[in-house]
Every structure is written in C-alpha cells, then in structure tokens.
Chains A and B, each alone.
Chain A
Amino acid sequence: MRFIDEYRDGEAAKKTAEMIRRVTTRPWTVMEICGGQTHTIVKYGIESLLPNALTLVHGPGCPVCVTPLEIIDKAIAIASRSDVLFTSFGDMLRVPGSSKDLLTVKAEGGKVRMVYSPLDAVKIARENPDMKVVFFGVGFETTAPANAMAVYQAKKLGLGNFSLLCSHVLVPPAINALLSSPANRVQGFLAAGHVCTVMGYEEYFPLAEKFHVPIVVTGFEPLDVLQGIYMTVRQLEEGRSEVENQYTRAVRREGNVPAQNLLREVFRVSDRAWRGIGEIPLSGYALRDEYAEYDAEKIFDVGEIRTQESPLCIAGMILQGLRKPSECGAFRTQCTPEHPLGAPMVSSEGACAAYYHFGEYRGEGQL
C-alpha cells in the first residue's frame, strides 16, 4: 500500500532504532498520549527495539478507557429502553459498566448497533422515524468534529429522533493534570497526531514552557512512532523542551480551522470526569444549550446511577503512567479481555489489552 508501507519499512526502522540507541545516554521516561500509538508500539514490538534505559508509559489517550463509568451505565440504561436504537463505535460495546456491557444489553434483546460513523447513526434515525436513535459520542478532539457534524445535520434536517450521548475529552488539560501531579515521572510526550490534525499544536507551547517537557506531535505508523521517540529523546539529552512536529504530512500548526469552527458551533468546553483519573476542569466537550434537544443526557431520565468499580482494578495508576499493566495483580488472572475488570483491558488501544494481546516480549523467552 503506497503511503503506508513507506512508514513500515524494516530497514528504515532499524536505522531509526539505532539512532535512538546512539542518542540515549541516560534513563528517560516518555509517554505516548494516544491509544493508537500504544497499539502501534505493541503491535510492531517497538519496545523490543529500544534501549533498556528508555521507558515508554502508555497515556490516557484511549477513549474507551477514560469514558467515566457513570456515562457507560447511562448508555446501558438508555440502550435497554424498548423505544431506543442505540448506536456506537465497535469497541465501546464491550466496555464494562457497573453490572454489564452494551453487548450484553444486545444479547438481552436491546437494539444496539455498531456503526463506523456518527453520520450513519443520523441515516439510521431518518430510516427509523419510530425509534429514538442515540449515538454514543466518545473520544478526543479527533472524533469530535464528526460527532458535531452529526448533531449539526440532525438539527438542519429537523430530525426529532436523533440524539448524542456526549462524553468528549480533550488532550491538553490531561497533560496539564498529569504533569501537575506530584507522582509524575513522565519527562517527555509524544502528542497525538490525529488530535493535532484537528486542533493544531499551538495549545502545547504553554505546556512545554510551564513544565519544561519536550512535546513531539507524532503519527501512528511504526516509523512515525520511532522518529517521534528519537526527536523526544534528542530534546531531553540536549536539555531542550520544545514543541516539535514529526507528523508534518498531516498536521499544520493551526490545525483544521473549519472543523474547529464546527466544534465551537455545537460544543462548549466543560469539566469532565475521566475514568481512573477523576475530574479534570475544562477537559471535555458538552453540547451547547442551543443543541439541548439533541443531548441524550437531557432527553432520557435514567434515574439515579450508582457506579461500582472493581476494587482490584488499578486502571487509574496505569492511565497516569504510574504502573505498567504487568504490575497489576489482577492482570491475566482475574482481568482478561473476556472478563475485563477495567476499561484499559477492553479496547485493543487500552494499555492492558495491548499488553495482553501483544505481550511485552523482549525476545528472551520472557513474557
């Protein structure tokens, strides 16, 4: 495949890995924010190519992992209603709520459908005027424009039976929260390339300056990730803390302005709870009052939700990079992808599932 294979080239990867080894003289801890990058790192065994002095920690950038339990329980309650056709991206269906997941709702007779785009949910709403069609709008700045577009179109079409259950989160406030924590040990960041495709990277300059950390906007193919790591380590070794752009083929400094305008039209920035981390001020999107009639949280009264997290799960520590999945007592024993105790075991982007599926294999017969 042209324009993809070039970024998976074995020779180029070896060269970049060698450059990383040569530039690394001390132990460094680098966090990749985005779950898509975690996926690439484990799928291609990138850690097995890195010097031991370099520690990668997997950040909170997996949408299914940080969506709060309360919202999942609300989704489950809404999807269980007989007048609702609930639509969602695939991997949200398996995220454990307090008592079950959306796939179980489906097995129990609920109308739950997987879609590839929120605009498909709008189409389903037009085709099923007797049903209330709800789309589960989760994710970071990357998925937000399409969800905003779905609501915007639904309003334009005068669709009375479409709504969005919105739980959008934003990357920069999360980086700010992680770096403000006294327990923080992250020294450099790979920023999420696709988030920056939408938002640009100007909002990262104050963070790099305030906390003296290098932030490198990085893509998702193995060579992108290796190059992003190289650029971050080089900054660390040289004592620099700048915002750099590795992903120049997709990211412009100012981002995608029309998408940002649409986001401002439909959403307002709001406080958000992050599963495993807690409430972070001004760290997410909520629908503006002008779009309240498309807000599933306002339309459906699901009563009081009492959430119950597994006491064994240390997802919060993992999402903050304080622990690795293999350091969790429940990992691979009580907690598996078939019976996830916490969200990072669900999506293949989640740090725990990524470790489970692809293993941390250093080539010494050790897993």
Chain B
Amino acid sequence: MKQIADFPAGLACPIPLTEYKNVLLAHGGGGKLTQQLIQKMFVSQFDNDMLGALHDGAVFPVGNMKLAFSTDSYVIKPIFFPGGDIGALAVNGTVNDLAMCGAKPLYLSSAFIIEEGLPMDLLWKIVLSMKTAAEAAGVSLVTGDTKVVDRGKGDGIFINTSGIGAVDPAAEIDPKNARPGDKIIVNGPIAVHGIAIMSVREGLEFETEIRSDTAPLNGLVERILKAGKDVHVLRDPTRGGVASAVNEIAQSARQGIQLNEEAIPIGEDVRGACEILGFDPLYVANEGKLLAFVAPESADLVLNEMRSHPLGKYAAIIGEVVADHPGIAVMKSRIGGTRVVDMLSGEQLPRIC
C-alpha cells in the first residue's frame, strides 16, 4: 500500500480531505454530509458529465432515443411499516427516480442481500409486495441477484433495485433548467413517510395510524408531461425532505427559491407528530411526493391535471424560483417573517426541550 510519503508534493493526501476518519450515519442522511461524500469521494473519481449532473438518474442517447438509468438501495428498518414494506419501497423508489428524469420506467433489476435466518414467509411477503408494486407501476423485474450473509452481518434484508426507462422525447427535465418565475408544485401533503417510520421506530402511538405515502409516481408524471411542455424540473424529495431537494435545485440551477410556509400541505396528524418528535417537516422524508418546477403560464394547467390524478388530489403551489439570492432557499413563515431554509446538516436530531 502506498504511504503518504510515496505521493509527490502537492498530492500529499491520498484520501480526499474530509474531517471524518470514519463514515458516520449522517453521511447517508441525504443532507450536506452526503453531498460532500458524493462530491469528494465519488464524483471526483468517476468524473463524467452524466454523473456530474447529480440528477436522480443518468440520461443518455441510444440510437435515436434517450434512456434513463437509475439505481437505489433499500435498508429500511422496520422492514414492514404502516402503508408499505421494503419491497414496495424498492420498486417505487427506482420507478420514481426514473420518472423524475421524465422517463417511462420499463425494466428493473433487483439484488437481495439476505441475512441468514430471515423467515421464509417474510421473504415471500416482500416478494409478493414487489410483484404488486411492479404491476401497479407497469414495470417488469427482468434480472436479479441473491446473496446470503452470516447472521448478524445484515439487518434482515437489504434490497437494491436498478431500472431503465425511455425518456419522453419532448421532455427537457433537468435540475439546471429551473428559471426565475417557475412555480413549484408539490403533489400532496409532505413528511408522511418519515413520520410513519419514526412513529413505529419510537413506539409512539398516535390516535390515527400514519401510513407511508410510498407510491409509484410515473403515472402522475406522464399526466404532468402531457399537460405542458414547460415542466423544467421534477424531483422526488425523499431523504432530507423538501428542504434539501429545493436547496439542491437552487444550487444546480444557480437560482433562488422562495417558499410560502402557509401553502405547504401538511396533514394534521403529521404536524402533530413533528411537534412531539421535535422535527421540522420540511426535512422529513417522502416516498410518494414530487416537486414540479413549471413555467408560470402553465402552472395552473399542470396543477389542475395533477389534481385530477389520485396521487395529486391535494397538489398545491408552494413557492417559486426567483433571481434573488441564487443558490439559497428562503421561506416566508406563516406569521409573515422570512428565513433561510438550509440543507439538512447531518441527521435531524430532536431538540432537548
């Protein structure tokens, strides 16, 4: 192995300088540390334009058509949760990443890393759930892989899915394309998935069960793209929530973002749970939500089309792109004050009091 001294002067650091010697959980939290890890470790070495775009998937030409390609791994705990399970999540997640590229998802692969001792009937339930989700999304699982690891070396089951989709030739969906005036539309109440998981993990019992919003969004995206050509960005605000998603887009597009707190749909139950748990719903994960950045003249049309779809019934315009403060997202609070909405740093930790 090369020692530090083996490197010529100026290249004295064989590992890109991060101030952490070990990977922390927060490096996977979807916030700033994740972004830094991806930039410093992966993008710097695998350097290419498609990766550098930091989109939900890569888009590339094949013959006279464009394909989208995306991958995601699922390590969720608990494996079964109100409103879904790891299997449904694994299918919907990759389907949604493809849809956010403006693609019609076609084929998925699935790799299972299973811990020795996982009950066979649990695995069967997961497989059936994946089958149902794939049928609902109109995709086929066409290839896969299975590994079993020693007891204690995995957390029951991890699933990776990758997918390929055909990109709508008329669509020009790219986070860089957000431009001043664009309206930001969300398809429904936010922060549901993260709170559904947290309430199970923390053993909290609320009066009504909060169920994950996991759902395939490709049908909704198809309808959005049919409605107007002026859709500039699509993004599913998963880890890190709406706040992290709008920050990423503000940075990619070098534009400012202005959110309106009062317009952001949040369910009463989720709001209450966030109060109790000490979380800001803007930073809580979603699995069946998307943000659409649409030119102002088409916004109402797209909004109405979204509202006519079952997954967009409660769609709302929650803000817009502005030329001021490029790279920064700002929110008008419900009492009329203004504050910056930063990206999540590390994991969201509940406050003491």
Contact = CB atoms under 8 A, between A and B. Distances in A.
B267 to A, nearest CB: 11
B337 interface: yes
A361 B272 contact: no
A42 B32 contact: no
B25 A359 contact: no
B346 A337 contact: yes
A103 B325 contact: no
Contacts of A140: 353
A45 B262 contact: no
A348 interface: yes
Contacts of A142: 353
A359 B33 CA distance: 20
A116 B279 CA distance: 13
A49 B335 contact: yes
Given A1-B268, A104-B22, A107-B22, A358 B340 contact: yes
Contact of A44 (B330, B333, B341): B333
Contacts of A13: 335-336
Given A94-B349, A339-B19, A356 B337 contact: no
B350 interface: yes
Contacts of A339: 19
A58 interface: no
B339 A358 contact: yes
A143 interface: yes
Contacts of B335: 8-10, 13-14, 44-46, 49, 222-223, 226
B308 interface: no
A138 interface: yes
B345 A44 contact: no
B205 to A, nearest CB: 14
- Interface range, B side: 35 or more
B278 A90 contact: yes
A209 interface: no
Given A10-B262, A338-B33, A367 B350 contact: no
A64 B350 CA distance: 12
Interface string A353-367: 000111101010101
Contact of A90 (B336, B339, B349): B349
A290 interface: no
Nearest to A4: B275
Interface in A1-59: 1, 4, 8-10, 13-14, 17, 35-36, 39, 42-49
Interface in B243-273: 262, 268, 271-272
A181 to B, nearest CB: 26
A46 B337 CA distance: 6
Nearest to B262: A10
A336 interface: yes
B339 A91 contact: no
A348 B243 CA distance: 15
Contact of B324 (A107, A348, A365): A365
Contacts of B349: 90-91, 93-94, 114
A207 interface: no
A222 B334 CA distance: 10
A64 B352 CA distance: 8
A347 interface: yes
B352 A361 contact: no
In this complex, the member of A9, A14, A46, A138 whose beta carbon has the largest number of chain B beta carbons within 10 angstroms is A46
Contacts of B346: 94, 103, 337-338
Contacts of B186: none
A68 interface: no
Interface in A89-122: 89-94, 103-104, 106-108, 114, 116
Nearest to A336: B345
B202 interface: yes
B101 interface: no
Contacts of B353: 35-36, 63, 139-140, 142-143, 194
B167 to A, nearest CB: 35
A295 interface: no
Given A10-B262, A143-B352, A49 B337 contact: yes
B351 A90 contact: yes
Contact of A48 (B33, B271, B337, B342): B337
Given A356-B342, A357-B342, A44 B337 contact: yes
Contacts of B53: none
Given A103-B26, A107-B24, A49 B336 contact: yes
Contacts of B332: 45
Contacts of A1: 268, 271-272, 275
B351 A349 contact: yes
Contacts of B325: 365, 367
B272 A338 contact: no
Interface of B: 19-20, 22-26, 32-33, 36, 202, 262, 268, 271-272, 275, 277-278, 280, 324-325, 328, 330, 332-342, 345-346, 349-353
Interface of A: 1, 4, 8-10, 13-14, 17, 35-36, 39, 42-49, 63-64, 89-94, 103-104, 106-108, 114, 116, 138-140, 142-143, 194, 222-223, 226, 336-339, 347-349, 356-359, 361, 363, 365, 367
23 contacts: A1-B272, A9-B335, A14-B335, A35-B351, A43-B280, A43-B333, A44-B333, A44-B334, A44-B339, A45-B339, A46-B337, A64-B352, A89-B350, A90-B349, A104-B20, A107-B24, A143-B353, A337-B346, A338-B345, A338-B346, A358-B342, A365-B325, A367-B340
